[in-house]
């Protein structure tokens, strides 16, 4: 008796990246690695799972992420409370503290990979998504704050993107935020009637975040609220101007958005977002800023830090509006053969071609020439190399160029001696 199983599907909001689109991802990752290396950033990889406490402390208890978006569970083996990382920074800082990276010199590091947030899925908002996360640890700025932003400007240029604009703000220091908070709470109390449930709940625990609301009915209230920027003292303003001057030097345009507070609690001084109108409601491609208090908060010796995270799905969405993404063909050369001896010879020749850096697929199993040719064509290969009895005895391969219909017949088909095959093919690909 056969048992039938219900077809299993990926989890809601979690996407498969299939071979036809993965080359777009790989190309972006390669571009990003080179771009980051050109500014001295080195890769770092931290675990996907961390103690829940790391994020609760590092991101802040009263944030969307910690309140409602984390994938958390109890380890059934030992009762530990664990969370799938919802962002990189807390884990990166934990690792830097744990391995004493911060005591000798600053570190410029980056990570790429999946992060997890339990959100309502829609375009540009998934439950497993990917970030490119970049952190400069141990540097007080404002020079490095500006360098990070200039770096991003370069990445958009490399990728041919020009519809992204920069918004910046300064969140000042703790004392400035405390003074502003007092004024803000008074203001929110006066406008309690327009606050939604979340707003009322956060009014005292995280009033700044009340202004970050997406609720249209609260926009007027948020726009007219006391601005943190107006509470900044001379030092914070000097830091802000230090960033702006360097952006001016680099010819990077920006607007001051005094309502920009970012989702995470640990930011101070510089915060910024790169935003586009081309992605509908989910228009923030990259967000970042300074978080000088976080390292100490997580148990390290106090050290300044600044960083950003790019949302890869949103960035790729933007890139594919710009140019038609080409998927990478399965191979450059498809080897066709007839008979056992020819199959073995084809495998040997394929190894030689790979020694020369060619991407080669040897037809697996046996089939008629016609169906092998069809597979070769569908593979996207530039050429089929054909081995039959005649070719074996003459030690010569027949080569058919598959994408050369507009060339004269004699250039579409060639005979090439086995020992010349690699160099001849390489020369034409």
Binding-site ranges for ligand ATP (CB under 6 A): 87, 117, 119, 124-126, 129, 131, 263, 282, 284-287, 309, 311, 313-314
Q: Which residues pair with 333 in a beta bridge?
A: 360, 383
The residue (of 263 and 388) whose beta carbon lies closer to Mg ion is 263
Which listed option, ligand ATP, Mg ion, none, makes contact with residue 314 (CB within 5 to 8 Å by class)? ligand ATP
Nearest residue to the partner ligand ATP, using Cβ: 311
Which listed option, Mg ion, ligand ATP, none, makes contact with residue 286 (CB within 5 to 8 Å by class)? ligand ATP
Whether the Cβ atoms of residue 235 and residue 260 lie closer than 8 Å to each other: no
- Count of Cβ atoms closer than 10 Å to residue 202 Cβ: 21
Which listed option, Mg ion, ligand ATP, none, makes contact with residue 125 (CB within 5 to 8 Å by class)? ligand ATP
Q: Report in angstroms the alpha-carbon separations of 79 from 52, 56, 61, 73, 94.
A: 12, 17, 21, 9, 21
Output the smallest distance, CB 13 to ligand ATP, in A. Answer: 8
The site for Mg ion (CB under 5 A) is made up of 263
Which listed option, ligand ATP, Mg ion, none, makes contact with residue 282 (CB within 5 to 8 Å by class)? ligand ATP
Handedness of CA 89, 95, 99, 100 (dihedral sign): positive
The residue (of 282 and 412) whose beta carbon lies closer to ligand ATP is 282
Output the smallest distance, CB 15 to Mg ion, in A. Answer: 18
The residue (of 66 and 149) whose beta carbon lies closer to Mg ion is 66
The residue (of 91 and 142) whose beta carbon lies closer to Mg ion is 91
Output the smallest distance, CB 274 to ligand ATP, in A. Answer: 8
Which listed option, Mg ion, ligand ATP, none, makes contact with residue 284 (CB within 5 to 8 Å by class)? ligand ATP
Tell me how far apart the alpha carbons of residues 400 and 243 are, in angstroms, rounded to a whole number.
Answer: 59
The residue (of 122 and 371) whose beta carbon lies closer to ligand ATP is 122
Tell me how far apart the alpha carbons of residues 269 and 306 are, in angstroms, rounded to a whole number.
Answer: 10
The residue (of 315 and 397) whose beta carbon lies closer to Mg ion is 315
The CA dihedral of 215, 219, 220, 224, to the nearest 10 degrees, is 130
* Half-sphere exposure (Cβ direction) of 21: Cα atoms closer than 13 Å: 9
- The rounded Cα 125 to chain-centroid distance in angstroms is 13
Contacts of 103 (CB under 8 A, 6+ apart): 301
Output the smallest distance, CB 35 to ligand ATP, in A. Answer: 17
Which listed option, ligand ATP, Mg ion, none, makes contact with residue 207 (CB within 5 to 8 Å by class)? none
Tell me how far apart the alpha carbons of residues 418 and 351 are, in angstroms, rounded to a whole number.
Answer: 12
């Amino acid at each position: 008796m056969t048992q039938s199983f219900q077809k299993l599907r990926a989890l809601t909001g979690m996407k498969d990246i299939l071979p036809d689109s993965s080359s777009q991802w790989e190309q972006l990752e390669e571009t990003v690695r080179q771009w980051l290396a050109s500014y001295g950033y080195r890769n770092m990889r931290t675990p996907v799972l961390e103690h829940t406490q790391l994020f609760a402390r590092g991101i802040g208890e009263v944030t969307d992420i910690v309140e409602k978006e984390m994938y958390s569970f109890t380890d059934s083996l030992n009762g530990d409370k664990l969370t799938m990382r919802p962002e990189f920074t807390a884990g990166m800082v934990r690792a830097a503290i744990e391995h004493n990276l911060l005591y000798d010199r600053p570190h410029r590091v980056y990570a790429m990979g999946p992060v997890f947030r339990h959100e309502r899925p829609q375009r540009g908002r998934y439950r497993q998504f990917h970030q490119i996360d970049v952190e400069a640890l141990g540097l007080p700025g404002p020079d490095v704050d500006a360098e990070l932003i200039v770096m991003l400007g370069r990445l958009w240029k490399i990728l041919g993107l020009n519809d992204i604009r920069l918004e910046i703000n300064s969140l000042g220091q703790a004392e400035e935020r405390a003074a502003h908070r007092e004024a803000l709470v008074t203001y929110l109390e006066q406008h309690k009637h327009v606050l939604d449930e979340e707003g009322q709940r956060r009014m005292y625990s995280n009033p700044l975040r009340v202004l970050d609301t997406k609720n249209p009915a609260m926009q007027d209230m948020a726009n007219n609220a006391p601005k943190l920027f107006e509470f900044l003292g001379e030092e914070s303003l000097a830091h802000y101007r230090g960033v702006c001057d360097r952006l001016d030097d680099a010819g990077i345009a920006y607007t001051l958005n005094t309502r920009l507070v970012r989702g995470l609690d640990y930011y101070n001084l510089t915060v910024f977002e790169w935003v586009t109108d081309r992605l509908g409601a989910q228009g923030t491609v990259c967000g970042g800023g300074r978080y000088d208090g976080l390292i100490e908060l997580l148990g390290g010796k106090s050290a300044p830090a600044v960083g950003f995270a790019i949302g890869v799905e949103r960035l790729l969405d933007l890139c594919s509006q710009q140019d038609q993404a080409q998927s990478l063909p399965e191979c450059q050369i498809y080897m066709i053969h007839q008979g056992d001896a020819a199959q073995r010879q084809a495998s040997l020749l394929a190894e030689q071609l790979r020694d020369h850096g060619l991407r080669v697929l040897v037809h697996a199993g046996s089939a008629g020439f016609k169906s092998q040719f069809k597979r070769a064509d569908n593979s996207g290969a530039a050429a089929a190399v054909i081995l039959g009895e005649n070719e074996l005895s003459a030690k010569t391969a027949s080569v058919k160029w598959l994408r050369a219909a507009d060339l004269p017949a004699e250039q579409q088909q060639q005979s090439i001696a086995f020992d010349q095959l690699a160099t001849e093919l390489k020369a034409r690909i």
